[in-house]
Amino acid sequence: MKIGGNASATGFFTKHGGSSLLSDADTKKKYSSRVGELYREELARRVKDDVARSVFLPIHQHRQ
């Protein structure tokens, strides 16, 4: 994945004290936790930054 993904989530949860949540099969519990909320905020920031950078990329012309 461009912005998120398993490696990104694992690193974030580990760095922010949520490593115990990684082995929990209950994804709702994982992502509604405080660390999960922080991760969602981080992903939103990353997406916003990516969109802002993408707006200024040149448009590719189609070959005819």
Is the pLDDT at 60 greater than 80, yes or no?
no
* pLDDT value at residue 23: 92
Q: How is residue 13 written in tokens?
A: 């949860």
CA distances from 54 to 24, 40, 41 (A): 36, 21, 20
Percent above pLDDT 70 for the chain = 83
pTM of the model as a whole? 0.75
Categorize the per-residue pLDDT at 15 as very low, low, confident or very high, splitting at 50, 70 and 90.
Answer: very high
Is the pLDDT at 62 greater than 70, yes or no?
no
Categorize the per-residue pLDDT at 61 as very low, low, confident or very high, splitting at 50, 70 and 90.
Answer: low
